[in-house]
Structure 1
Amino acid sequence: MMDRRERLIDRAREGFQLVYGTEPTHFFAAPGRVNLIGEHVDYNAGYVLPCAIDRETIVALGAGEGNLFEATALDMAEMGSARDDFSLDAPIVRADQNWRNHVRGVVHALAGRGHRLKPARIAIASDVPIGVGLSSSAALGVAVALACAEHSGLNLSPDVLAKVAQAAENDFVGCACGIMDQMASASSTAGHALLLDCRSLEHMPIPIHESLVITVINTGLRRELTGSAFNLRRAECKAAARHYGVAALRDLSPEALERARGWLDDVHFARARHVVSEIARVEPVALALAQGDSAVLAALLAEAHRSLADDFDVSLPPIDRLVGLVAEALGTAGGVRLTGAGFGGCLVAVADRTASWAIDDAVARYNTTASLPASSNSFAPAKGAAPIVFQ
C-alpha cells in the first residue's frame, strides 16, 4: 500500500502524463508549515519558531519545448484555472489567478537574479490545505523555485530559494509577507522546529520532545490573505517603528515601548506591544518545546493568543471561543493559540500525547453550536530535510 507521499507523487505523475502526453523526469517537494510562536514577527525582523509539517507540494517536471514555460495546477482543475504558459523570452506579467502568479513570480524573481532558465513543463499536486494558515503558498513557491533551479543547473541555497518564493508572493501575488514561511519550507530538519532570526536568516533546529504532539485545528473559517487586513497590519507596524525611531519593531525593548510612547495612538501602540511581547516568548517556548514542559507551553501560548486577539486584533469571536474550550480541556497538559495571519484559519496546540483526547473533546463541544464545524489533525514534523529532489 502506498503511503501519503507516494500517493501524492503518483497523482503528480498521472496528471503530468494526462496533460503533456509524456513522463516527467524529476519530482520536487517542499512542505507546508505551522508556526508555533512568533506570529506577525517575521516582517518585523524578529525571531520565530515554525515547524515544517508532513503535508507538502509536489512538482513533477519535464523538459519544455521552444522557450515556453508550461504549468498545470492539478488541485485547481475544478475551478477552470488549471493551465498556464508563458514565454521565457518575453517580460513576465501578472496573471488573474494567485497560483499562476506564484509560478510566474518565481520565474520572474530567478530571472531578476540573472539566472537563465530552461523551458519546462510542470504539474503541481499538493496535500497542504489551502487558506487555513499552513503556508500552502510557501510550499508552492519553494517547490517551484527548487524545480526551476535544479532543472536549469543552478545550485541555490535554501535561503535563496526562500527569498525567491517570498519575492513571488510580494511582487506578483500582492501579499506583503515576511520570510518565515518560505524559510520554514526550505530549511527545516526532521523532528525539529526551526528557530529563525528573520533579519539575518540565521537559524538552528530545536528538537521537539518525544512526549509532545502538535495538533492543528481547522476553525472552518477560511481566510483570503491577500484581501485581508494583513497588509494593513504590516503598515501599522512600520508606522510604529518610525515613531520609535527603530529600523524594525524587533529593535524595540519592552522598556522603550512604554518610555517613548509619547503621542502614539492606542492602535499603533497595541500593534507594537504585540510584536515586542511575542518576540520575548519565542526563546522560552523553544526551551519548553525541547524539554517537554507542557505547563510552560500552556501559559505562554495562552499569552500569545490574548496578544493576537487584543493587541493585534486578528482573531474572531468563534476562534476565541474555540481556543478557550481547548485550553480549558488541556489545563496544564499543553497550550493552544491562533496560528498564521489570522482572520480565520487554524489553531495550533502543543500538548502531551496523552492529552489528545481532550482536544478532540473540546472541538466536538464547539461543533455542537458552531455554524461552521472545526476539525483537528495531528501533524508530524516534516520527514527529512526540506525541500527534497526526487529522481
Structure 2
Amino acid sequence: MNFQTIFNQKLPSVEALAPGRVNLLGEHTDYNDGFVLPTAIPQQTIVQIGLSDDRMYHFYSENLDERVDIREESFRAGEMQEEYARYIFGCIQVLKEVGYTISPINLYVKSSVPLGSGLSSSAALEVATLRGIRQLFNLPINDVEIAQFAQKAEIQYAHVQCGIMDQMASSLADTEHMLFLDTRTLERRILPLPEGAKIVVIESGVPRTLAGSGYNERRAECEQAAQLLGVKALRDITDVNLVETLPEPLRRRARHVVTENNRVLEALQNVETQTRHVSSLQQFGELMNASHASLRDDYEVSVPALDTLVDILQKTPGVFGARLTGAGFGGATVALVAAGEEKNIAEQVLEQYNHAGYTGNILVGA
C-alpha cells in the first residue's frame, strides 16, 4: 500500500518526518517545570499529505492498516475512535484554534518508532504531522511552536497530561547530540554526547500506554506535593531535605523529582567541563544508575522486566550506566556504553535477558 493506492490520488503534495527520542536523564521532571536531557533516535515517523478532493478528512496508518474517513462537520466534533487519528485530529484542531485555516486533507503515516516503548511515538507523529501541515499550507510557525502545538494536541485530544520534553526533542534534537532543556523557560543547549560513548536502547518487551497507566496519577501527586510545599512546581525545590515533611507517597514522589533535576544539572556541568577522560563517562553513568534507582523506589514506575534488563546492563563490562527511559510501566531502557562495543554489548545483554525469561529487542546499538 502507498499514498496513491489508499487515496486514489496522485503523489502527495508534501512529505515530512520526525524522530523518536530517548531520554538520558530527567524523567518525570518536564511536567514539574524541570530539566531534561534527551536525544533523538534513528527511528522516524513519516507523513505524506495532500489536499482532499471531497471535503472529507482521510487518515491512514500503514503500521496499523487502519483508515479513517470523516466529514468536516463530524471532524469538528471529534467523532473518531482510532487512537492514532486523535493525535492527527488534535494537531489540526490546535492550529485551527489559533486562526489557521486547514482544509480537509489526505494523510498517510508510517513509522519505525516502536509503539508503546517509551520512545515518543506519539510526539513523533504529532511533530511530523505539524511539519507536513506547515509545509503544505505555508504556515509561519517555528520549530518551538511546533512542539508547543504538539503538546497541546496530546493533552487536549489524546488526554495525556504530558510535559513538553517529548515534543521538543522530536522537533529540535538529533542523534549526534543531547538536548538540554529547561522546560519552564524553554532555554536549551545542544551538547555533544559524552566523548568515547555510544547509546544502546533495548526494548523490554513489556508495552505500556501513558493514559492507561499511572502517569496521570503521578502528575497529580506532584502537583499536590508542590501545593503543600507552597511552590508553583517541584522545580522550585532544590534542597531534597525540604520534601521530608510531606506525607507518603508524596514525599517519595517529590524526592525523585528534586534529585532527578539535580542529576540533570550535574550532568550538564560535567559535560560542559568534561576533561574527556573515562572518569567523566563514569560520572555520567553513575547519574543514570541513580536515576533508575530513584524511578524504581521513589517514583515506582519501573516493572520487574525493566529492573532485570537494567541490572544486566549495569553489570556488563563496557556499560557506564543504564536506566529505564520514558514514563516507565514497561517500555525500553537506555545505556551509555563504550564506543565501538555497542553491538557486542547489546547482543550479549539481550541474550542474558532472553535467558531470564523475557523477550526483548535491540532498538539502537545493533
TM-score range, shorter chain: over 0.9
CA contact (8 A) 2:91 2:129 kept: yes
Q: Which stretch of structure 1 is more off in the superposition, 205-214 or 53-62?
A: 205-214
Alignment of 1:162-181 (within 5 A): 162-181=147-166
Match of 1:341 in 2: 327
Distance in 1 (alpha carbons) for counterparts of 2:48 and 2:205: 31
Match of 2:38 in 1: 50
RMSD over equivalenced CA pairs, Å = 2.0
Match of 1:365 in 2: 352
Distance change in 2, residues 1:119/1:353 (3 Å): same
Aligned length: 359
Does residue 322 of structure 1 match 2:305?
Answer: no
Match of 2:267 in 1: 285
Distance change in 2, residues 1:294/1:209 (3 Å): closer
Distance in 2 (alpha carbons) for counterparts of 1:64 and 1:359: 45
Alignment of 1:123-142 (within 5 A): 123-142=108-127
* 2:116 aligned partner, one-letter code: G
Q: Cα offset for 1:323?
A: 1.0
3-state SS of paired residue (2:160) = coil
Distance in 2 (alpha carbons) for counterparts of 1:173 and 1:363: 33
* 1:352 aligned partner, one-letter code: A
Distance in 2 (alpha carbons) for counterparts of 1:286 and 1:352: 20
Q: Cα offset for 1:149?
A: 2.2
Q: Cα offset for 1:89?
A: 8.8
Match of 1:17 in 2: 4
Provide TM-score, normalisation by structure 2: 0.93
* 1:82 aligned partner, one-letter code: R
Q: Cα offset for 1:61?
A: 1.3
Distance in 2 (alpha carbons) for counterparts of 1:88 and 1:285: 50
Which segments of 5 or more consecutive residues in structure 2 lack a partner in the other structure?
none
Q: How many percent identity over aligned positions?
A: 36
CA contact (8 A) 1:34 1:50 kept: yes
Counterpart selection for 1:61 from 49, 56, 62: 49
Match of 1:302 in 2: 289
Match of 1:352 in 2: 338
> What per-residue deviation string (whole Å, max 9, x for no partner) do you get for residues 172-214 of structure 1?
1111111100000111245211111111112110112452111
> What per-residue deviation string (whole Å, max 9, x for no partner) do you get for residues 265-285 of structure 1?
121010000000000011332
Distance in 2 (alpha carbons) for counterparts of 1:91 and 1:35: 35
Q: Cα offset for 1:289?
A: 5.2
Distance in 2 (alpha carbons) for counterparts of 1:365 and 1:261: 39
3-state SS of paired residue (1:125) = strand
